[in-house]
Amino acid sequence: MRRASAKFRGIYGASPLHALLGTSSLAIVAIAVRGWFDEPTVSLKYILFWFVGAILAHDMLLLPLYSAVDRLATIRATRPAPPGEPPPRRSPGWVFVRVPLLLSGLLLLVFGPEILQLGNSDSTFHVASGQHQHVYMARYLMIVAVLFALAALLYTLRALRGRRA
Amino acid sequence: MRLPLPDPDRPPPGPFRHSFWRSPLRGPWLTSLLGFALLIAIPLIAITGFLSNDAYNPRLGGNSVGRMLGPLDFYLFQWPTHPSWLYAFTQGVHVTIGLAATPILLAKLWSVIPRLFEWPPLRSPAHALERLSLAFLVGGALFEFATGILDIQYAYLFKFFFTNAHYYGAWVFSAAFVFHAAIKFATMRSALSVRRGLEPLRDNLAHTRPEPQQTPASDLIALTPAAPSMSRRALLGTVGAGSLFLFVQGLGDSLGGPLRVLSLLGPRDRFGSGANGFNVNRTAAAAQITAQEVGPGWRLELSSQGRSMSISRAQLLAMPQHTYDLPIACVEGWSSTQRWSGVRVRDLSRLMGHEGGMIATATSLERNGVFSAATLAENEVDDERTLLALRVNGAELSLDHGFPARVIGPALPGVHCTKWVSKVKFSEAPA
């Protein structure tokens, strides 16, 4: 029994339990995708387009984009560490821009549709709720302003403390 | 001629090389901590999502809107009517935790991005299975979060029907998630215990080092790390702050009342004023309700097994009136508790000669509505708090809130609280 299991592991690359769990997981995935075929308005291709598109948009667009912005901003300040030595210290100033920038970006990513009124959402929204979405842009800009003001305040406090020390 | 097979020991240049990835913060500990947070959040979101399916009573009438009820559309149990805030709670958790988990998901995906380019791409059948499943995991996660977040903002940028796509997408995501959690649990536990839980959070920027390399070597830990430009606690603090802010957006919308002001970007504010000043999900104008339809000529048509009866609003008001505080709990996560008065649906069923155990389908005057009719289950009809409401907060219902009469009941999903009711049909519950 043990030998059979070891032989299976040699060919497959993991335990039989792994194989069992993995195939049952894929079976459920297959039945679920089959459920999408039942869509009465025959929009399967749009669903698949969105499913694959979501992966590509994140992995090939969003992540490289925010990494590149970050890299460009830090490139001047970052020198590679000489071998065997700890990386050099640098001014933490960029963090005070980066954190509010990241948070503003996150909020725009999540609430962008209502803030920018994407895809006719305002008329759909108005028909449903009797309200309008124009208030969200102002609120968003206010939140962004508060985030950067807080960061500037913290940076100033830290700089003052550093000068005194 | 030799086939140009990829050499397992010589990755192509660029992201396929370990040395390409230089962030000193990436490593098994960081990924495991984010994974641990998601291991709590995702099951909460998934379970409350599947419970919402249950709350819609998909086995009854036309409640399973847009779905053909295949093998994954099981019905777990009869959705209870106690406590009355049950659906407000489960759906509030679904949307609020879903919003709060978004930055954690994005950070987790950032932490493992080198794995997308791992070399060799396939090592064994087991590895191939894992990577295939990862495509469903990542795709499922992004698809579910994106469609859910777009839905609560009414941004129907997609051309498919939301309910169907989000429901089966949840199955794709959940199935891949369970497999992933099962095979990675031990890795997560050991990564968190090797570095003693939260201890790396003590390091400020000056003390931030790459995670110590392990045997076998982890490809998440940079070979040639850049100098850190931010500590781990600053990174996780940013993720946590984003998560907390989004949590508050969901919480304000879900708890409602005075807390609604906390939800600056939450997609709903109150609508209207006075006794009728609270959210609607469909205005009378959108439903194309005409003044004539709801004027003095309006009648409620009751029917049951071939018999029927027509009642005027004055006759309804002459029946015993009851008042309860009940929430409207929208599937989009917002809730609003109001004081409703009207006739018990149970009393209407007695009027038709039933002693209980019937289901009731309420049909609206509205046009083109996906939920222009909804069927209430036996326990919902028999609950004394399920009303055909005529008044709210001591005033007449406004037209936008469903005048002349609307359904309201304990723990009902919002769209089952049919407005502008014109017919109620009682029938035997399906076996």
**Domain extent listing, chain B:** 14-258, 277-428
Q: Same domain, yes or no, for A163 and A126?
A: yes
| Interface-testing mutation among A111, A122, A125, A155, with chain B (most B C-beta atoms within 10 A) | A111
Alpha carbon of A76 to those of A70, B19, B207, B335: distances in Å?
A: 11, 20, 21, 50
Check whether residue A101 and residue A136 sit in a common domain.
yes
> How many residue contacts between A and B have a Cβ separation below 8 Å?
246
Flag whether pLDDT at A88 surpasses 70: no
Say if the Cβ atoms of A130 and B272 lie within 8 Å. Answer: yes
The alpha carbon of B326 is separated from its chain's Cα centroid by a whole number of angstroms, namely 21
- Shared domain for A95 and A138, answered yes or no, is yes
Option in B139, B179, B269 nearest A25 (CB): B179
Q: Are residues A24 and A53 in the same domain?
A: no
The mean pLDDT of A5-31, rounded to a whole number, is 94
Residue A80 lies inside a defined structural domain of this protein = no
Distant-in-sequence, close-in-space partners of B232: CB < 8 Å, separation ≥ 6: B25, B30, B200, B201, B203, B208
Whether residue B209 contacts residue A81, with contact meaning beta carbons closer than 8 Å, is answered with no
Identify whether residues A22 and A32 lie together within a single domain: yes
C-beta of residue A36 within 8 angstroms of C-beta of residue A49: no
pLDDT average, residue stretch A33-57? 82
Peptide bond into B24 cis (omega under 30): no
In sequence order, the β-bridge partners of residue B362 are B374, B424
A145 and A159: one domain?
yes
CB atoms within 10 A of CB B43: 15
Interface test with A, best of B99, B134, B142 (most A CBs within 10 A): B142
As a whole-number percent, the residues of chain B with pLDDT over 90 amount to: 69
Query: Does the predicted interface ipTM exceed a cut of 0.90?
Result: yes
**Has residue A54 been placed in a domain?**
yes
Cβ-defined contact of B133 to A121 (cutoff 8 Å): no
How confident is the model over B181-212, as pLDDT tens digits? 999 999 999 999 877 778 889 988 888 999 99
Q: Is the pLDDT confidence value at B9 over 90? A: no
Distance of alpha carbon B228 from alpha carbon A89, whole angstroms? 8
The verdict on B272 touching A (C-beta cutoff 8 Å) is yes
In total, how many domains does chain A have? 3
A164 and A121 fall within a common domain: yes
Structural domain contains residue A52: yes
Burial of B429 (0-12, 13-18, 19+ CB in 10 A): middle
The mean pLDDT value of chain B amounts to: 92
**Does B227 have pLDDT greater than 90?**
no
Nearest CA in chain A to B285: A127
Does B70 contact A111 at a Cβ distance shorter than 8 Å? no
Phi, psi of B266, deg, nearest 5: -60, 135
Q: Do residue A148 and residue A107 come from a single domain?
A: yes
What is the bridge-based pairing of β-strands B358-364 and B421-428? antiparallel
Contact yes or no for B72 and A35 at CB 8 A: yes
* Whether the predicted pLDDT of A75 surpasses 80: no
Question: What residues pair up with B326 in beta bridges, in sequence order?
Answer: B338
Residue A44 lies in a domain: yes
How far apart, in whole angstroms, are the C-alpha atoms of residue A67 and residue A59? 11
Q: Calculate what percentage of chain A has a pLDDT beyond 90.
A: 50
Give the residue among B15, B183, B184, B32 at the shortest CA–CA distance from B114.
Answer: B15
* Range with lowest mean pLDDT among A33-37, B179-183, B425-429: A33-37
Are B138 and A87 a contacting pair at CB < 8 A? no
Whether residue A39 is predicted with pLDDT greater than 60 in this model: the reply is yes
DSSP 8-class letter at B42: H
User: How much is the pLDDT for B5?
Assistant: 67
Q: Within a domain: residue A107?
A: yes
Greater model confidence, A140 or B268 = A140
Same domain, A10 and A69: no
| Confidence bin at A1 (pLDDT 50/70/90) | low
Instruction: For residue A82, tell me if it sits in a domain.
Output: no
Q: Is A14 in the same domain as A65?
A: no
Domain range enclosing A4 = 1-38
Give domain B277-428's CATH number out of 3.40.50.150, 3.90.420.10, 3.30.1490.100, 3.40.1360.10: 3.90.420.10
Distance from CA of B199 to the nearest CA of A (A): 20
Cβ pair B357, B376 in contact under 8 A: no
A138 and A153 co-located in one domain: yes
Q: Is A118 in the same domain as A158?
A: yes
Question: Out of B109-118, B213-222, B248-257, B288-297, which region has the weakest mean confidence (pLDDT)?
Answer: B213-222
In a domain, A111, yes or no: yes
Residue with the bigger pLDDT between A88 and B218: it is B218
